[in-house]
Amino acid sequence: MAYVPTRTATTGQLIGGTFDVLASSSREIAVYVAVFAGMGLLLAIDSVEGLVSTLSFLLYFPAQYWLCRRMLLRAGLNHSDQFRVFSLFGMAVLLGLALMVGFNIFWIPGIILGAKWVMAPSYLTTRDGNLFDAIGDAWRASDGNTLSLSLAYTAVGAIGLFVFWGVIIAASLTETVIADGSSLVSGPAAGLFLSVSINVLPIMMMALSVASYRLLSDEMEDLTEVFA
């Protein structure tokens, strides 16, 4: 079991770190968004809508894993050489179910659980342990920082949802239809809006994961000792 020292970070540092990660990884984020936006444009073609939807789902977790690795690299952090996409998928299922229960009980338990586990993808990507090790390490690394992480998690989530709805409103103002009866989108522009909007929050949460890991994990403590 990895030793996790006690480190602290303020809410401001976590939010600021998130936007630093987003800025430093802007090129990778642009590539990520462009790929899914391109698929969104194809959703308007009835003959390939099902195929594109399936391909988008299959590509989502490899793309998230790639983005996490690139964000960690841009932040000056190491990552494991192992290919952990299936573990990331398993983690998403396990934590997603737990978060659904937490948010259904009340908002606060869901926020706390999300904050305690927000670093789990970064631990999975940087360490050689399994997904349960990553989940446990993320939980322990959050000790003493639950409040600041919860506030940052809420703020970043709110910003992500604000951008999401901003894109949806923009689609409405331009008379672009995203859902029309049994059809998912009514035109290429609608597919573009849909693909961009649903990826905003995951990208921002991944950036928060990397920023939190950078501030609170023992890897930064080790680097500090090396260069001290």
Percent share of the chain, pLDDT over 90: 54
Which helix (DSSP H) or strand (DSSP E) does residue 170 occupy? helix 146-173
Give me the pLDDT at residue 178, please.
52
Give me the pLDDT at residue 4, please.
46
CB 44 within 8 A of CB 195: no
Task: State the chain's mean pLDDT as an integer.
Answer: 84
Three-class DSSP category at 180: strand
Buried b (16+ CB within 10 A) or exposed e, 127-146: bebebebbbbbbbbbbeebe
Q: Token digits for 196? A: 């961009």
CB 114 within 8 A of CB 162: no
CB 158 within 8 A of CB 124: no
CB 43 within 8 A of CB 185: yes
Give me the pLDDT at residue 220, please.
59
> Rounded CA gap, 59 and 53, in Å?
10
Give me the pLDDT at residue 140, please.
94
Q: How far is CA 80 from CA 31, 77, 180, 203, in A?
A: 22, 10, 44, 20
Regions of the chain with pLDDT less than 70: 1-6, 44, 46-47, 49, 171-191, 219-228
> Rounded CA gap, 43 and 45, in Å?
5
What are the phi and psi torsion angles at 205 (to 5°)? -70, -35
